[in-house]
Amino acid sequence: MPFLRPFAYPLLFLLGLAPWSAALAANNQSGATKPGTVRLFINRAGGGKAMDVSNTLDVPVDVTLRISRRVNVAGVGNGLIRTRVPANSRVRVATLSKRQPGGPIMFKHSFSYVPLFTPEPRQPGSVAGPAYALPWQGGPFRISQGAGGDYSHNTPRGRHAVDIAMPIGTPILAARAGTVVAVHNGQAGRHPDPAGNYVRIRHADGSESAYLHLSRGSVRVGTGQRVKVGTPLGESGNTGRSTGPHLHFVVQKKTGDGMVSVPFRFAQPVESLPNFASREPWDHSMRRSTSSRLTK
């Protein structure tokens, strides 16, 4: 993949931090990171447009900007721009000029970002809470929509969600131990549930993680079942409101307004191979379910 880029230094990912509400900040007890925002600004520049990203977080962010349906636009190549914006800075990420001087320019754009956090807890640039294992087998894959993405990650339930593009049938594994509290496994296409087939896991602290858009019939865990990190849950798919094969992963907490998504961090960069070596072997529960099937 053309924009796949190895990280030069080890970082933990936290997916989503901006518009960090006061309520979330208050819940984040060891919140070493100050509230901040990542915003895209579009201004007139000469005859065209200039796009700036302002990052008021204490950590750098990787931003993805897609400029589509371009009419009379020059200067942005194929319209996909990925760049890193340092902490507490404002950077010009794109300059759109006119192909023909006379007419207007038109385009659509989408924007998302991934803050890059240090691995040490309780430091500037780290985030409270446990690190989540990459919840899939294989890869590396890349983020197709990050936190705050204005396609669908713009509601309280999904603001800090992340979409990871991956082929249909990729094994999906539990990112954190807990108890399965909901599954949906019988949906073939987009309807009726926009989440498609999914697994929802409640963790010891009451938070929940959800794995969406799974393949029909692939879910292999049931409500009430305990899972460990790496327990196979099902296979990725393209069900529900999904524009291509991907996993939508989100961590949520219960608040007065219902379940809202919260920032979280993966234990390693998304664009790396998952590593379950230091944990319970990921196929442990597979073997167990196989043997229980044999004894029946």
Q: What is the DSSP string of 31-79?
A: --SPP--EEEEEEEETTEEEEEEEE-SSS-EEEEEEEEEEESEESSTTS
- Cβ of residue 141: shortest distance to Zn ion, in angstroms? 14
Q: How far is CA 58 from CA 18, 132, 148, 259, 283, in A?
A: 12, 21, 17, 27, 38
Return the number of the residue (49 or 265) whose C-beta is nearest Zn ion: 265
CA dihedral 158, 164, 199, 285 (to 10 degrees): -150
Rounded distance between C-alpha atoms, residue 235 and residue 252, angstroms: 21
User: Quick check: bond before 192 cis, omega within 30?
Assistant: yes
Q: Are 199 and 183 in contact (CB under 8 A)?
A: yes
- Identify which of residues 128 and 199 has a Cβ nearer to Zn ion in the complex: 199
CB of 150 to Zn ion, least distance (A): 12
Q: How far is the CB of 183 from Zn ion (least distance, A)?
A: 18
Nearer to Zn ion, 142 or 228 (CB): 142
- CB closer to Zn ion, 14 vs 96: 14
Between CA 147 and CA 158 the distance in angstroms is 8
**CB of 64 vs Zn ion, minimal distance in Å:** 14
Residue 282 structure tokens = 């990921």
Residue 292 host element (H or E): helix 284-295
For residue 287, give both structure tokens: 């073997």
**DSSP conformation class of 260:** E
For the CB of residue 106, give the shortest distance to Zn ion in the complex, in Å: 27
Q: Which is nearer to Zn ion, 76 or 134 (CB)?
A: 134
Q: Which residues bind Zn ion (CB under 5 A)?
A: 161, 163, 248
> In this complex, which beta carbon is closest to Zn ion, that of residue 219 or of residue 250?
250
Contact criterion met (CB below 8 Å) for 128 and 163: no
CB of 214 to Zn ion, least distance (A): 13
Task: Report in angstroms how near the CB of residue 158 gets to Zn ion at its nearest.
Answer: 6
Between 169 and 244, name the residue whose CB sits nearer to Zn ion.
244
Sheet holding 48-55, edge to edge: 38-45, 48-55, 89-98, 73-74
| Nearest residue relative to Zn ion (C-beta) | 248
